[in-house]
Amino acid sequence: MGVASNPGEAAKRVLVIKLSALGDFVLALGAMRAIREQHPKAVLTLLTTPPFQELAKATGYFQHVETDGRPKGVKATRELLKRIKAARYDIIYDLQTSGRTANYFKALNLPFSTPPLWSGHAEGAAFFHDNPKRGEMHSIDRLAEQLEVAGLDPKALTLDWPPIADMSFVRRAQGSKPSLTPEYFGIKGPYALFIPGASAHREAKRWPAERYGGLAQEIADAGVTPVIIGGKAESEIALQITRIEPRARNIVTRTNLFQIVTLAEKALFAVGNDTGPMHMAALSGCPGVALFATSESDPERACPRGANIIVCKADTLDQLSVRDVWQAVQMLSVIPAETAGGQS
């Protein structure tokens, strides 16, 4: 059997698999764009999960978005695999590279069956990304290397390499809806995004609410409104911040993924934990300070990628002081001198 080759422009049907989580999904958008460019004539299908359906559709990369990538039960899994097999994809890109998706490949690679060309970490795949240090790489770099193993030539594509998401597709897809403006949320004047969320079961990754409150005071004194975003899990944190600094705006639970992008585009800067919306803000061009607990995650592998990002790190985030983070904010050099109220 000869070495497999990427079908490129000849591909008619292509499947991309990316199931979750938000940060990982956003970091994979650049790779998805590269796949779209590699197969310009193909019908591209994305296999994902429900939270990312609308964002995926807005990219314009996919003709079909399927959301049953994590079926519950043997019967549903069998139906999914039957559908994948029947589609006769020319090539499948597994950007999730989990145990689940490796099992999908194994099920499609049974004896006496013809498996599709597969890009991923599953042994036996036509394009097997077998770098033993792949788990130590930043997601963007790892996916770029995986695509190169699959036959994508960076020199033949129009994208920068490694491919990083361009979130401007949100504006193209959503237009100029009033709900995408700061004014929709009652925000006037210069503002900064606070992104205090993180995995609920990983407390060390959360900078304490009282520290966010202290930082909010410094930022508000400098003439900039702190705007707190997040999901339901951040509701109590947001209340604690606004008790300490009433000039902060609490819009937790009120933003969808598109609004996170458009608010980040116009924010002076963002401060946030290691969480998906912080990646979205950075990829939207927003300067930022990313807070990392090195006992939980390695900034080299997980830090947001953007033009102006400073990482503040400690073993656990309760070891970072307000002064540490405020100094990092000042290093961004984004607070206009005319708004700064005497703080230095």
Per-residue pLDDT of the chain (344 residues; tens, 9 = 90+): 447 899 999 999 999 999 999 999 999 999 999 999 999 999 999 999 999 999 999 999 999 999 999 999 999 999 999 999 999 999 999 999 999 999 999 999 876 677 789 999 999 999 999 999 999 999 999 999 999 999 999 999 999 999 999 899 999 999 889 999 999 999 999 999 999 987 666 677 889 999 999 999 999 999 999 999 999 999 999 999 999 999 999 999 999 999 999 999 999 999 999 999 999 999 999 999 999 999 998 999 989 998 799 999 999 999 999 999 999 999 999 988 766 554 43
For residue range 11-52, what is the model confidence (pLDDT) as tens digits?
999 999 999 999 999 999 999 999 999 999 999 999 999 999
Same fold, 8-166 and 174-331: yes
Handedness of CA 343, 250, 264, 308 (dihedral sign): positive
Q: Which CATH number fits domain 174-331: 3.40.50.2000, 1.20.120.160, 3.90.420.10, 3.40.605.10?
A: 3.40.50.2000
Q: For position 73, what pLDDT does the model report?
A: 93
Two structure tokens written together for 11 = 């591909």
Mean pLDDT of the chain: 93
For the chain, which residues make up each domain, given as ranges? 8-166, 174-331
Q: For position 343, what pLDDT does the model report?
A: 42
Can you list the positions of beta strands (E) in 174-333?
Answer: 191-195, 225-228, 249-250, 269-272, 288-293, 309-314
Superfamily of domain 8-166: Glycogen Phosphorylase B; (3.40.50.2000)
What percent of the chain is modeled with pLDDT above 90? 86
Q: Is-contact 290 312, C-beta < 8 A?
A: yes
3-class secondary structure, 159: coil
Q: Between helices 99-108 and 74-87, what is the axis angle to 10°?
A: 60
| CB neighbours of residue 134 within 10 Å | 15
Q: Which amino acid belongs to residue 55?
A: L
pTM higher than 0.85 for the full model?
A: yes
Two structure tokens written together for 150 = 């699959």
Question: Which parts of 70-208 fold into alpha helices (H)?
Answer: 74-87, 99-108, 139-149, 169-174
Q: Between helices 322-331 and 209-221, what is the axis angle to 10°?
A: 40
Q: What is the DSSP letter of 138?
A: -
3-class secondary structure, 325: helix
Measured between alpha carbons, how far is residue 294 from residues 9, 14, 201, 204, 312 in Å?
A: 43, 38, 16, 9, 10
Q: For position 338, what pLDDT does the model report?
A: 64
**Beta partners for residue 119, in sequence order:** 93, 127
